[in-house]
Structure 1
Amino acid sequence: MTHDIERIQALGALADQHVLPRHIPKPPAQLPAMPAPAPQAAPTEAISLVDTAGAAGDAWPELVPLPEDTSDTTPPAPFPFAALGPLLGAAAQAIAQDVQAPDAMAGGSVLAAASLAVQPLADVVLPHGKACPLSLYLVTSGSSGDRKSAVDDVACMEIARRKQEQSRQHHHAMQAYQQEQASHKKGDPEPQEPMMKSLTVGNATVEGVARLLRGQSSVGVFSAEGGEVLGGHSMKEVNRMGAMAFFLKGWSAETLDVMRGGTGYSSLLGRRIALHIMVQPLLLRALLSDPLADGQGFLARCLIAQPQTLAGTRFYNGHNPMESPAVLAYAHRMGQLLDTRPELWPTGDGYELKPKRLPLDPDARTLWVAFYNAVEAQQADGQELEQARAFASKAAEQAARIAAIIALFNNPQAVAVDVLAMDGAIGLVNFYLTEHVRLMGTGKQAQTDKRLRALWDWMQEQGAIVQQKDILQRCPNPIRKLKAQGIKPLLEQLGQRGYIRALGAGWEVRHVD
């Protein structure tokens, strides 16, 4: 522990210097540097878009191609199984190996199932006193044949077992209710229809989830076919804003208010929602480009991964993942946690949770603060996470949630989050932060490259000469928002690459086949 304390103190010192500790994301490799541009005359104005006047008809310089969009081709980092801890990590790795499924798919399924198991039991307390639920939202992409359902079947086998029992109990309760209705006499108390209970739900509307939560404290929105969720009734254009708002409240454990004709008004306190949907790459791209999902903050709360397919390498191994010692140990602990009765508010509605508060121990606290500060430094203007602030700003809270999940899974009687759980959680958030930047294209270089291509595409549509006033007033809105000071470097890069050249008060556009 002395060694650990010294390492924590060193990390704290690194944070003070804005140096990233081991698990904090490093900027991705930059594209090869372009050839140095030819010297140009000094600008006459600090924010002038045109620095020099060219001569139409002069020979164009050699064309330096624009960088390609590599967001879909850059390989993902390996999923850090060890960061999940001895029980969760070993089980996830065994599932990935025995099912022969992508690593982040197995890791995400196990992490989501663990979140569902512990979210009714505790809240994690951040160093500044805020209590946060242990609910996680995960979105994992996989192609057809990547064995999404097979992974979920193993990761959620204890959940499925209890769902079957809930279904049987509801069936018998409905039979008794129907018999009571048949024998009901005038003046007798009206029989109450039993409420359906289910640990998880896949193809469900927001109203359906709220209806379930009237009779239970916690639910998981889990689906190996995420199109059921993203393409369902609640996510249709007319309902999307309300559905997103509902799930945002669920992530933060806020009061869930639902008002619908027929079902009436629901105000649900102390409920918890975990989410894991596995989607096709096409659906993931649609979600990532959805301005509502991005603008409302839904994507910023999701841990998103798109691992590489293993198709072509999955030769028969004869392994039964249900018999793996690591999976059996994981399932046993899942059963213990799912069978633990959560504490409820005595003055609540019978389902309002009163989770125990799980603080960070001193070493975990020091490590968390170092991580918080380092990620914050990377969100400054010009830094790697500038364009990923929405997600990055929640990275430290995500780490605390995951650390508490790991701590409780390792020891259901834990009274604090230990430093090893926090260290692992930071590794996991580092992985998902890297995936977010990769898939969203929000890294500094990726964002610049995207803007370069968008500006060039627009300029080609305007004709041979484009006036600088038109660029300021009519170019694509994401670029126009940069104003003259932000647009000028993009124009300079296009000029240096030989796509445009200054001509009077505008730019001559090169014809490129």
Structure 2
Amino acid sequence: MEYPMTREPNPAALCYSQPLFGEAVRQAHQNFQAPYRLCLMGGLAALSSAAQSLVDVVMPYGARVPAGVYLALIARSGERKSTVERRFMKEIKALDDNLEEEHNCNLADYKVKMLEWKNRKKQLEKKLGKSGNDQHELTRIREELRELLASEPTKPQRAKLVYEDISPMAMLNALNETGVGTLVSSEGGIIVDGKSFDAVPHLNSLWSGDKVSVARVGKPSLNISDARLTVSIMLQPEIFKPQTGKKGEKIRGSGHWARYLVINPESTQGTRLSTRQANSWEHLDAFDRRIREILSKARMARIVGDVEREEIRFSEEAAAAWYKLADRIEEAILPGGQFEHASDHASKLGENIARVAALLHFFEGDGGAITVETLNVAADICNECSDDFLKLFVPPPEEVRDAVELDKLINRMRDDGLRFIRRTYLHKRCPNAQRTGGRFFRALDVLLREGVIRSYVDMSNSQCLDLCPLLPLPWGGPLNGHH
């Protein structure tokens, strides 16, 4: 079976194909010494947040879908996720601060106008009560009151882009007002919290660009249409782990995690030496300038109102390449394929590749259609996320995990100079958990099938193992019956 994407992750390809974005990610990785893919997530989150209100991606088969992405980072505390996120989201949060100041000023003006409006309303109501039977006066006051009611001041909307550590339901309330937003959480447990699960189907709909209707007891219903949402959350491994088991089946079953680009990078803790850090920030500064340009367009579009989002399309060559990727992904759902136990993830993977490609294409500002080079880089990024999704949600069978642990023990024996041993010798020294229920023998069978070791019977009819099956035999003859 040929897997959907076979290229190895290559940061250099990102820098070459997408220099503005790729060099910023590389520089963040070098300067903050955080995991490379954590920095990649920070850049994608900022890009998705800034661009989602301006562009949609037209899939090769014609459907128009949002360009925003959902990102989930699984990492221990201390990986510098917050530091990286703050750096990439700097311009977006600066705009949010300005919008908040404007909102506060507009809110103060609104309150003054509302006081004047209420006083005028009271005056007219008093006149209405004192007008008696004078029909002419009644008609005049009623008309004046009708005009006043029609001119009631409108409360200014809060134009906020980033919402930090709020519940998904609160995010829905915000989207009902603003129509666009980014849910950023360093405590991503709010997504998996039992009280928040009711909002998960609505988050699924928002990812797809569908209309969302939420009935609320004692409050007006929420009717959110054509909204755009980016999600960027961090989960500690211990908080995320239940999502991969039976407790998390409800959320996994809803297709929620399948929509995410899941990132579970290798830790850099213990290797972050000051001598490896650079003082140059020019690529991140260039990233900031481009984000400011995008935000300026987004803000202008909001002021003008009802502006059509730009359609990002694929070139003919890129569309043909995307179809090939989609076919391989589909084939990999078959028994024995990469996605045999992750069809939910596979069903969204092709669209996620298209979204990442559209975001990168738009950010670089090349114009025209998405190229094959950009599609390949997007596929590489999503391939890494696929690997992490499968490791977390579709772990290998018990015997394979046991075989990995047993292989570590065998490697230590090799380092000690051992090559030919009895099977009972290995059994007595294997991890405690493997000594019952036949687990040791099932793990041993995996190693034998893979050719990591080979078995033989010695002259005393004892079952033995050759720990270095690729090396020539010291005695030059057949294995069985010797040693």
TM norm structure 2: 0.71
Q: 2:6 aligns with which of 18, 24, 29?
A: 24
SS at match of 1:128: coil
SS at match of 2:326: helix
Q: 1:127 aligns with which of 42, 46, 60?
A: 60
Could you tell me which runs of 5 or more consecutive residues in structure 1 were left unpaired when the two chains were aligned: 1-17, 26-76, 454-491, 500-513
The aligned counterpart of 2:297 is 340
Q: 2:244 aligns with which of 280, 283, 288?
A: 288
Tell me how far apart the structure 2 counterparts of residues 350 and 493 of structure 1 sit (CA, whole Å). 70
Tell me how far apart the structure 1 counterparts of residues 164 and 316 of structure 2 sit (CA, whole Å). 40
The aligned counterpart of 1:109 is 42
Q: 1:312 aligns with which of 247, 251, 270?
A: 270
Tell me how far apart the structure 2 counterparts of residues 331 and 159 of structure 1 sit (CA, whole Å). 9
Instruction: Read off the aligned partner of 2:160 and give its amino acid letter.
Output: S
SS at match of 1:220: strand
Q: Evaluate the alpha carbon distance shift between residue 377 and residue 333 of structure 1 in structure 2; reply closer, same or farther with a 3 A threshold.
A: same
Instruction: Read off the aligned partner of 2:313 and give its amino acid letter.
Output: P
Instruction: Read off the aligned partner of 1:336 and give its amino acid letter.
Output: E
The aligned counterpart of 2:31 is 98
User: For 1:33-70, what per-residue CA distance to the aligned partner results, in whole angstroms no more than 9, with x for missing partners?
Assistant: xxxxxxxxxxxxxxxxxxxxxxxxxxxxxxxxxxxxxx
Which one is further off, 203-212 or 79-88?
A: 79-88
Q: Evaluate the alpha carbon distance shift between residue 135 and residue 111 of structure 1 in structure 2; reply closer, same or farther with a 3 A threshold.
A: same
The aligned counterpart of 2:204 is 248
Instruction: Read off the aligned partner of 1:325 and give its amino acid letter.
Output: E
SS at match of 2:233: strand
SS at match of 1:171: helix
Tell me how far apart the structure 2 counterparts of residues 159 and 317 of structure 1 sit (CA, whole Å). 31
Identity between Structure 1 and Structure 2 (%): 24
The aligned counterpart of 2:14 is 83
Q: 2:228 aligns with which of 264, 272, 288?
A: 272
The aligned counterpart of 2:153 is 191
Which runs of structure 2 are paired with 1:70-469 in the superposition (5 Å)?
80=11, 82-83=13-14, 85-184=18-117, 185-187=119-121, 188=148, 189-227=151-189, 229-230=190-191, 236-240=193-197, 242-289=198-245, 290-316=248-274, 324-341=281-298, 354-411=308-365, 414-442=367-395, 446-447=396-397, 449=399
Query: Are 1:358 and 1:404, in contact at CA under 8 Å, matched by a contact in 2?
Result: yes
Instruction: Read off the aligned partner of 2:167 and give its amino acid letter.
Output: T
Q: Evaluate the alpha carbon distance shift between residue 401 and residue 137 of structure 1 in structure 2; reply closer, same or farther with a 3 A threshold.
A: same
Tell me how far apart the structure 1 counterparts of residues 338 and 402 of structure 2 sit (CA, whole Å). 17
Instruction: Identify which of structures 1 and 2 has the higher relative contact order when contacts are C-alpha pairs closer than 8 Å and 6+ apart.
Output: 1
Instruction: Read off the aligned partner of 1:310 and give its amino acid letter.
Output: T
Tell me how far apart the structure 1 counterparts of residues 272 and 2 of structure 2 sit (CA, whole Å). 41
Tell me how far apart the structure 2 counterparts of residues 350 and 248 of structure 1 sit (CA, whole Å). 29
> Would you say how many aligned residue pairs link Structure 1 and Structure 2?
378
Tell me how far apart the structure 2 counterparts of residues 408 and 80 of structure 1 sit (CA, whole Å). 19
Instruction: Read off the aligned partner of 1:303 and give its amino acid letter.
Output: L
Tell me how far apart the structure 2 counterparts of residues 133 and 119 of structure 1 sit (CA, whole Å). 7
User: For 1:396-425, what per-residue CA distance to the aligned partner results, in whole angstroms no more than 9, with x for missing partners?
Assistant: 1111111111110111x6232111111111
Tell me how far apart the structure 1 counterparts of residues 304 and 360 of structure 2 sit (CA, whole Å). 28
Tell me how far apart the structure 2 counterparts of residues 218 and 140 of structure 1 sit (CA, whole Å). 22
Tell me how far apart the structure 2 counterparts of residues 257 and 362 of structure 1 sit (CA, whole Å). 38
The aligned counterpart of 2:463 is none
User: For 1:250-279, what per-residue CA distance to the aligned partner results, in whole angstroms no more than 9, with x for missing partners?
Assistant: 110111212223541121221100110112
Instruction: Read off the aligned partner of 1:83 and give its amino acid letter.
Output: L
The aligned counterpart of 1:7 is none
Instruction: Read off the aligned partner of 2:282 and give its amino acid letter.
Output: P
Could you tell me which runs of 5 or more consecutive residues in structure 2 were left unpaired when the two chains were aligned: 122-147, 404-436, 445-483
SS at match of 2:274: coil
Tell me how far apart the structure 1 counterparts of residues 244 and 300 of structure 2 sit (CA, whole Å). 38
Tell me how far apart the structure 2 counterparts of residues 80 and 117 of structure 1 sit (CA, whole Å). 23
Query: Are 2:399 and 2:439, in contact at CA under 8 Å, matched by a contact in 1?
Result: no
Tell me how far apart the structure 2 counterparts of residues 261 and 344 of structure 1 sit (CA, whole Å). 35
Instruction: Read off the aligned partner of 1:116 and give its amino acid letter.
Output: S
The aligned counterpart of 1:472 is none
User: For 1:190-245, what per-residue CA distance to the aligned partner results, in whole angstroms no more than 9, with x for missing partners?
Assistant: 33222222111022233432332233232111123324x33xxxx542541x2111
Q: Evaluate the alpha carbon distance shift between residue 317 and residue 334 of structure 1 in structure 2; reply closer, same or farther with a 3 A threshold.
A: farther
Q: Evaluate the alpha carbon distance shift between residue 276 and residue 79 of structure 1 in structure 2; reply closer, same or farther with a 3 A threshold.
A: farther
Bigger Rg, structure 1 or 2: 2
Query: Are 2:92 and 2:161, in contact at CA under 8 Å, matched by a contact in 1?
Result: yes
Measured after TM superposition, the shift of residue 335 of structure 1 is 0.8
SS at match of 1:201: strand
Which has the larger helix fraction? 2
Instruction: Read off the aligned partner of 1:414 and give its amino acid letter.
Output: G
Q: Evaluate the alpha carbon distance shift between residue 20 and residue 304 of structure 1 in structure 2; reply closer, same or farther with a 3 A threshold.
A: closer
Query: Are 1:24 and 1:375, in contact at CA under 8 Å, matched by a contact in 2?
Result: no
Query: Are 2:31 and 2:278, in contact at CA under 8 Å, matched by a contact in 1?
Result: yes
Tell me how far apart the structure 2 counterparts of residues 353 and 263 of structure 1 sit (CA, whole Å). 30
Tell me how far apart the structure 1 counterparts of residues 202 and 109 of structure 2 sit (CA, whole Å). 34
Q: Evaluate the alpha carbon distance shift between residue 78 and residue 224 of structure 1 in structure 2; reply closer, same or farther with a 3 A threshold.
A: farther
* CA RMSD in angstroms, aligned pairs only: 3.1
SS at match of 2:98: helix
SS at match of 2:232: strand
Tell me how far apart the structure 1 counterparts of residues 276 and 6 of structure 2 sit (CA, whole Å). 39
Query: Are 1:159 and 1:199, in contact at CA under 8 Å, matched by a contact in 2?
Result: yes
SS at match of 1:95: helix
Tell me how far apart the structure 2 counterparts of residues 178 and 127 of structure 1 sit (CA, whole Å). 50
Query: Are 1:121 and 1:342, in contact at CA under 8 Å, matched by a contact in 2?
Result: no
TM norm structure 1: 0.67
Measured after TM superposition, the shift of residue 79 of structure 1 is 7.1
Measured after TM superposition, the shift of residue 338 of structure 1 is 1.3
Q: Evaluate the alpha carbon distance shift between residue 300 and residue 399 of structure 1 in structure 2; reply closer, same or farther with a 3 A threshold.
A: same
Tell me how far apart the structure 2 counterparts of residues 344 and 159 of structure 1 sit (CA, whole Å). 16
The aligned counterpart of 1:481 is none
